[in-house]
Amino acid sequence: MKLREVKEILNAEVIVGEDKLDMEVKTAFGADLMSDVLAFAKAGSILLTGLTNDQVIRTADILDIAAIVLVRGKKANTETISLAKDLKIPIMTTKYILFETAGRLYAKGMVGCVEKVDNANARN
């Protein structure tokens, strides 16, 4: 699916990367904990998150995440937005909560970027 369709499905507002809406994205990862994103998310996925600080942008940069979707109407501050511009990472914001965001994208055929987490790595 193109980033443009993600935008339409989520009625999202593009904050950074209006010129990148024709980019193709196939998978998604939703999380508020960046260490989980680092552990499991894959290059080229979109990241759905309720966290809006610099660490989201840096995490996305490190993993070559295709784009960031901020959920439940959250906006990033100006410094964070300019960091995303510098690192050329598209950001959009949607009014939907993460539950609804993931649900709507999943219903349109977007899949998760990891299927299951092996029990061998189970925590504790």
Class of residue 114 by CB neighbours under 10 A (exposed 0-12, middle 13-18, buried 19+)? middle
The nearer residue to other proteins, 18 or 114, going by C-beta atoms, is: 114
Nearer to other proteins, 8 or 18 (CB): 8
Give the x/- contact pattern for other proteins in 21-40, rule: CB under 8 A.
Answer: -------xxxxxxxxxxxxx
**Whether 74 contacts 50, CB under 8 Å:** yes
Measure the CA–CA gap between 61 and 46, rounded to whole angstroms: 12
Q: Which is nearer to other proteins, 24 or 33 (CB)?
A: 33
Taking CB under 8 A as the rule, does residue 50 contact other proteins? yes
61-120: contacts with other proteins (CB under 8 A): 61-64, 72, 87, 97-100, 102-107, 110-119
Q: Which is nearer to other proteins, 72 or 85 (CB)?
A: 72
- Going from the C-alpha of 76 to that of each of 82, 85, 95, the distances in angstroms are 10, 12, 14
Nearest approach, Cβ of residue 18 and other proteins (Å): 23
The position carrying tokens 């680092």 is: 38
Backbone angles phi, psi at 45, to 5 degrees: -80, 165
CA–CA gap between residue 75 and residue 14 (Å, rounded): 11
Count of residues in contact with other proteins, rule CB under 8 A: 53
* Binding residues for other proteins (CB under 8 A): 28-40, 43, 48, 50-51, 53-56, 58-59, 61-64, 72, 87, 97-100, 102-107, 110-119, 121-124
